[in-house]
Amino acid sequence: MMIVDMHTHAGRPGRSGPVDRAVLATMRPAGVAAAVVSAIADLPLIRRNPVTRRLEQAGEPVPGQCWAHVDGHLAVYEDAGMRIAREPDEIRADDPALVLAVEGCDFLDGDLDRLDRLAARGVRSVQLTHYLVNETGDIQTAPPVHGGLTSIGAAAVRRMNAAGIMVDVAHCSEATVAGVVDATTRPILCTHSNLLEPGHPDGEHPRFISLDYAKMVAGTGGVIGAWIATLQHEKFDGLVRHALRLIEAVGIDHVGLGTDLPSNVAAEEMPDFRRHPEFAARLRAAGLSEEEVGKVCAGNWLRVFRAARAGL
């Protein structure tokens, strides 16, 4: 069984310093063929609120600051001693690889050519927003500023489509996602989120998504990654349950795994890749066929990756 984790910060629990290669070494025995590793563009500008424990903006970007941070963050993964997969056919069950990604287009500074430069470097997934409302659109965790996707955000989506970069709408507001759906010609990702579940102890996190939001992503042929980082009560059990809820809501072809490890709850529950086979086993135990488990664990994300690179 091939497994792909479509959103991680693997080996960098403090988001600084070199990658812990011992964490990456757990990929092969766990059967994890690829980990998508994200450079966080706005990392120098966000802090955890000591009261709410949630990340929020703590500074204003200086032109070039986020671009420089992305460059350094990607370099750490490039120097981690792992193969970097640039194409779908380079994802192989017996030869684990990293796939480079960027979380947040805060690095743009109005320069869409930077997306082409990232593509040439091997970046294959880019998230429009993170915890800062940037020039591309609004986010889930702050009041709206733009009313959805901006004109430069739409242009960025089109440029990513042309460059073979998967568009990731995680952290985007619902209105922003609606704009992305109108702008894209390729399937999109929401790499790490869960469906809202009012009344459940973990069910109303501001980063969770509505059914309409989920259906917009799925309507492009896209994929939503089940997410563990905020499941304080259910922990690993909740990751499995939320994956099954997503499958019921949008169908087996539109769900994947995006742990966000080692963030928050994942720091204890999934600090590395050793429990990824357990996720697959739990899906089987819930009644999914081997083919269905394969779609959730890798196949759906690979289909989007292939669609992003088609014709290039």
What digits encode the pLDDT tens for the residues 36-83?
999 999 999 888 888 877 777 888 889 999 999 999 999 999 999 999
Question: Strands (DSSP E) along the chain, which ranges?
Answer: 3-8, 32-40, 46-48, 55-57, 83-84, 97-103, 123-127, 166-168, 189-190, 223-226, 255-257
- Domain extent listing, the chain: 3-309
**CA pair distance 121, 116, nearest whole angstrom:** 9
For residue range 225-234, what is the model confidence (pLDDT) as tens digits? Answer: 999 999 999 9
For residue range 167-221, what is the model confidence (pLDDT) as tens digits? Answer: 999 999 999 999 999 999 999 999 999 999 999 999 999 999 999 999 999 999 9
**CA pair distance 266, 73, nearest whole angstrom:** 21
Which CATH code, of 1.10.287.180, 3.40.1440.60, 3.40.50.1100, 3.20.20.140, is assigned to 3-309? Answer: 3.20.20.140
